[in-house]
Structure 1
Amino acid sequence: MASEVVQEPTSIPAPLAAAAEAEAPLMEVGTDNDNDSAFDPDDGAASDTTSLSSSVSKYRFENGRRYHGYKDGLYMQPNDEQQLSVQDLGHHMMLILLGDKLYTAPIVNKPQRILDVGTGTGIWAIDIADQHDSAQVVGTDLSPVQPEFVPPNCKFEIDDASSMWTFTPGSMDLVFMRFLLGSFTNWTEVYREAFKSLKPGGWLEHHEVAPDVHSEDGSVTSSSAFGRWGALVFEAGDKIGRTYRTAYNTKKWMEEVGFVNVVETKYRMPIGRWPADPKLKEIGMWFRAYFEDGMEGYAMALLTRVLEWDYIEAQAYFGQLRAAFKDKKTHGYCNLTIVYGQKPLDA
């Protein structure tokens, strides 16, 4: 289906509103009961960051979905209401996973500046601003889809994090990233920009889910709908030079850039309520919703733009995935990693 870039009034959706163990052992199958510059308002320094203007409210409409128009094509996921709801659902899922914690790095008690890269709906930035009223929080994104009414210590900017960052070097206490698969061609350069922006002793934290689906009982095979999902996403990402294997490399890349005290925690995210453990069952319910509601947005552009599928072929595959979500004999899970690292005090 042909795409076009048109201008539309800026949409400002309201945000909508597991604890799996690291390297979790075999998950017992139970009963399945379910059918988000050191910013200174007075800083006049030249910046690549743009204001909210008509240039950033021009959107690409393609296959029934809306994509960002600013730097069109740089990011492969939609920014429409459906996908924004998925982002907020993922935020709630992570709060359940982490016991209502927004981050895990041991940052200072009263951070002064926090940066949320790829903020999306801005829900993480808003929550962290409420939690740390001592901090100035800035969230950056390619799309102006954040709420208008936010805490006074929170603000949003349109910015491309794959370009050179313009924040004051050595100013941030925490740089946070979450669910940015396929966003960058060179993750070490992005981490290097984060390193430069952090204060000595500051922290970078990155949460990421890997797209490949696994099972411990053989219920997910390479030819199944779930088995093909990871292979197709990896293939498309490799074709455009944007790896979707980020979750498996974050720790290594942080260390290569110079971060120290790097800690990696791994989780298995069950797809559905099949685990016997009540906590995993709850996490699986949320992760299934996050996966199922978001799969078309995550993959449509990869399948049609990159792998050159037609729209009908892509929808047929999504239908196979929906059937897999409902199959109680399939006990799939995805890997999620949380990695944080510290800029050395003598840097």
Structure 2
Amino acid sequence: MASEPVQDPVTAGAPVADPIVAPMEVGDDEDNDSAYDPEDGNASDTTSLSSSVSKYRFENGRRYHGYKDGLYMQPNDEQQLSVQDMGHHMMLILLENELHLAPISENPQRILDVGTGTGIWAIDMADQHKSAQVVGTDLSPVQPAFVPPNCKFEIDDASVLWTFTPGSMDFVFFRFMLGSFSDWTEVYREAFKTIKPGGWIEHHEVAPDPKSEDGTVTPGSPFHRWGDLIFEAGDKLGKTYRTAYNTEAWIEEAGFINVVEKKYKMPIGRWPADAKLKEIGMWFRAYFEDGMEGYAMALLTRVLEWDFIEAQAFFGQLRAAFKDKKTHAYCNLTVVYGQKPLAT
């Protein structure tokens, strides 16, 4: 049974304990074993990547997709692609080297990765499931040319009517797609139509509003303000950034059954006492810090109409917050998967 969707997540500075995920114990912010220290340093048809869909938009020193310009607010340059691969590694740590949690069949035939980005998840799935043809779709042709023979990439806009054969996919996967769609339920309905009876959908999403269990993320602090600004820009844009808080209910609304939601806390930094959370926190901080400018620059300047200097000043405040070891911030992450009924 799905929980009631949360429309406005708690943003107060008082300590808030998640009713499902246990509180995190604060430890020493040290890591003598890590190899990485973030403190150092409008056609709707599916189009093959062999076509010439490679025009770009350059703005504020970043490169954005040109195909359906403005549909997606994050850049597609090398810096942001590196952040995406970092997020992939982070999720492998979190899920103990599993690429997904849905109990898909041992020999799937067709797998779809929506918003594939660098294509790293699709490539890993193709290597892991030799029986499957894995298709990754995206607005940007930034995926590598040399991939497993059972993996391919296509330019596609998943916000419009899907062109895949109904009932053709064993598994449809989404990850880290905040701000991509105005109507997630409709997107999930397109996925439902495309998935075979008995097949699965799965979505991984991070909530963009940092919290704390001990009140160290206070109202007006850079982390708290970050969450407020992201939600404000998303609301103004007409694309909610509260996706992680509603995924389970929306997937059920689209018709999926056996829906499971798993909640995780992603610490920002190495402050947790638990060794695994400390490692995840190290990577999540790097993912957040390296990706925040690309994640928010277009939202701040195009949507909220800030100027470039004002945005850079805010990013400077956030960088100082990342270095404050007295702040024990984390973000919520959800993994939701569900099954298409055998009889529909």
Return the TM-score normalized by structure 2.
Answer: 0.90
CA distance in 2, matches of 1:228, 1:52: 39
Partner of 2:71: 74
Match of 1:256 in 2: 253
Are the counterparts in 2 of residues 22 and 267 from structure 1 also a CA contact under 8 Å? no
Could you give the per-residue CA deviations for residues 111-137 of structure 1, whole angstroms, max 9, x where no partner exists?
A: 000000000000000000000000000
- Distance in 1 between residues matched to 2:336 and 2:211, nearest whole Å: 21
State the partner residue of 2:15. Answer: none
Residue 22 of structure 1, CA deviation: 9.2
Please, which of 321, 328, 331 is the counterpart of residue 331 of structure 1?
Answer: 328
Q: How does 1:305-316 map to 2 (within 5 A)?
A: 305-316=302-313
Aligned-pair CA distance for 1:54: 6.8
Per-residue CA distance 1:291-341 (angstroms, 9 max, x = gap) = 000000000000000000000000000000000000000000000000000
Residue 142 (str. 1) matches residue 145 (str. 2) = no
Tell me which residue corresponds to 2:193.
196
Figure out how many residues of one structure are paired with residues of the other and give that number.
317
Q: 1:340 aligns with which of 334, 337, 340?
A: 337
| 1:233-269 residue CA offsets vs partner (Å, 9 max, x unmatched) | 0000000100000000000001111100000000000
Whole-angstrom distance in 2 between the partners of 1:272 and 1:52: 38
Q: Give the conservation status (yes or no) of the 8 Å contact 1:63–1:311.
A: yes
Q: How far off is 1:33 after superposition? A: 1.7
SS of the equivalent of 2:29 reads: coil
Determine what percentage of the aligned residue pairs are the same residue. 82
Give me the whole-angstrom Cα distance separating, in 1, the residues matched to 2:19 and 2:299: 31
Amino acid at match of 1:27: M
Say yes or no: does 1:320 pair with 2:290: no
Alignment of 1:1-347 (within 5 A): 23-33=20-30, 35=39, 48-52=45-49, 56-347=53-344
Cα offset, 1:290, TM superposition: 0.4
Provide TM-score, normalisation by structure 1: 0.89
Structure 2 CA distance for partners of 1:142 and 1:321, relative to 1, 3 Å? same
Which amino acid is 1:216 matched to?
A: E
Alpha-carbon distance in 2 for matches of 1:64, 1:216: 37
Conserved 8 A contact 1:265-1:337: yes
Secondary structure, in 3 states, of the residue corresponding to 2:82? helix
Verify the 8 A CA contact 2:49 2:153 in the aligned structure 1.
no
Contact 2:178/2:241 (8 A) holds in 1: yes
Instruction: Tell me the amino acid that sits aligned with residue 272 of structure 2.
Output: P
User: Alignment partner of 1:208: what SS?
Assistant: strand
Rounded to whole Å, the distance in 1 between the matches of 2:46 and 2:187 is 16
User: Counterparts of 1:319 and 1:253 in 2: how far apart (Å)?
Assistant: 36
Q: CA deviation digits over 1:43-95, x for unaligned, max 9?
A: xxxx8112336752110000000000000000000000000000000000000
Q: Is residue 22–residue 265 contact of structure 1 (8 Å, CA) maintained in 2?
A: no
Distance 2:53 2:247 in 1: 30
1:26 Cα deviation from its structure 2 partner: 1.7
Counterpart in the other structure of 1:7: none
CA distance in 2 between counterparts of 1:56 and 1:299 reads 25
User: What's 2:7 paired with?
Assistant: none
CA RMSD of aligned residues (A): 1.4
CA distance in 1, matches of 2:51, 2:251: 37
Cα distance change of structure 1 residues 131 and 23 upon mapping to structure 2, 3 Å threshold: same
Rounded to whole Å, the distance in 2 between the matches of 1:64 and 1:281 is 33
Map of 1:41 onto structure 2: none
Unmatched runs of 5 consecutive residues or more in structure 1: 1-20, 36-46
Letter in 2 for 1:169: P
Alignment-mate amino acid for residue 320 of structure 1:
Q
Distance 1:187 1:69 in 2: 23
Q: How many angstroms does 1:214 deviate by?
A: 0.2
- List structure 1 segments (4+ residues) > 6 angstroms apart after TM superposition: none
Superposed displacement of residue 151, structure 1: 0.2
Secondary structure of 2:48's counterpart equals coil
> SS at 2:266's partner residue?
strand
Give the Cα separation in 2 of the matches to 1:124 and 1:25: 29
What is the Cα deviation at residue 24 of structure 1? 2.2
Contact map agreement 2:270 2:278 (CA 8 A) in 1: yes
